[in-house]
Amino acid sequence: MRYKEECGKAMQMLSRDDRVVFIGQTVSYPGSVVYGTMEGIPEEQRIEVPVMEDCQMGISIGLALQGFIPVSIYPRMDFLICAMNQLVNHLDKIALMSCGQYQPKVIVRSLVGATKPMFPGLQHCQDHSEAMRHLLPNMEVFVLADAGHIVSTYEYALKSVKPVLIIEYSELYTFERPA
């Protein structure tokens, strides 16, 4: 089972729900491994944004409050940090702050940058998975370390009433981890 292909199957599965929109960098134009998983997804379900991580998360929350299910894609987890105010203080807490009146559902898709075949620099390959678990007590955080759980994890995220953060590993798109 190939990691990249399973990620593509998961995106196809999500795209069959009319409420789903994909927002982020490289959802419509090449530039990261994410683009290769968007094949066959209708352009009208894609929102390509420039480098503006904080605004992207704010837009994603707004879309969710309007009934959409945004899949907000951050090709490098290192830069998800730029959206932490909206992620930690808003998306994670809105249901509590509104006594359940608002429950925005956002699927945040982020990737730990690959270190092979070339090291990209320290600020492009950090894994903040454990920190995210601590910072987001009201969201579910999943780490996809093998291909066998990709589609089922995204299916779960689509059905969940909570916002979900799913962390992938770019390196596994090319180099599968040994069993």
135 lies in which domain range? 3-173
User: Can you state the angle between helices 3-15 and 150-159, rounded to 10 degrees?
Assistant: 20
What's the domain count of the chain?
Answer: 1
Closest to 127 (Cα-Cα) out of 110, 112, 109, 144:
112
CATH code, 26: 3.40.50.970
Q: Is residue 179 part of a domain?
A: no
Confidence of residue 119 (pLDDT cuts 50, 70, 90): confident
For the chain, give the percent of residues with pLDDT over 70: 97
- Cα dihedral 17, 18, 24, 29 in deg (nearest 10): 100
Q: What is the model's pLDDT at position 123?
A: 80
Q: ∠ at Cα 62 (58, 67), nearest 5°?
A: 145
Q: Is residue 123 part of a domain?
A: yes
Confidence of residue 118 (pLDDT cuts 50, 70, 90): confident
Task: Say how far apart CA 164 and CA 34 lie, in whole Å.
Answer: 18
Residue located via tokens 């070339």: 118
Q: What is the model's pLDDT at position 141?
A: 97
Q: Is residue 42 part of a domain?
A: yes
Q: Where is pLDDT greater, at 62 or 171?
A: 62
Q: Is residue 137 part of a domain?
A: yes
Confidence of residue 114 (pLDDT cuts 50, 70, 90): confident
Please give the distance of CA 135 from its chain centroid, rounded to a whole number.
Answer: 16
Can you give the three-state secondary structure of 64-93, one letter per residue? HHCCCEEEEEECCHHHHHHHHHHHHHHHCC
- pLDDT, tens digit (0-9, with 9 covering 90-100), for 11-59: 999 999 999 999 999 999 998 999 999 999 999 999 999 999 999 999 9
Q: Which residues, in sequence order, are bridge partners of residue 168?
A: 111
Q: What is the model's pLDDT at position 175?
A: 64
Q: Which residues, in sequence order, are bridge partners of residue 74?
A: 110
- pLDDT, tens digit (0-9, with 9 covering 90-100), for 52-76: 999 999 999 999 999 999 999 999 9
Q: Is residue 94 part of a domain?
A: yes
Q: Where is pLDDT greater, at 173 or 179?
A: 173
Q: What is the model's pLDDT at position 38?
A: 96
Task: Say how far apart CA 110 and CA 168 lie, in whole Å.
Answer: 6
pTM (predicted TM-score) = 0.93
Average pLDDT on 118-132 reads: 85
Task: Say how far apart CA 6 and CA 49 lie, in whole Å.
Answer: 24
Category of 99 on φ-ψ map: left (φ > 0), alpha (ψ -120 to 50) or beta: left
Is residue 72 within 8 A of residue 24, CB to CB? The reply is yes
Q: Is residue 85 part of a domain?
A: yes
Q: What is the mean pLDDT of the chain?
A: 93
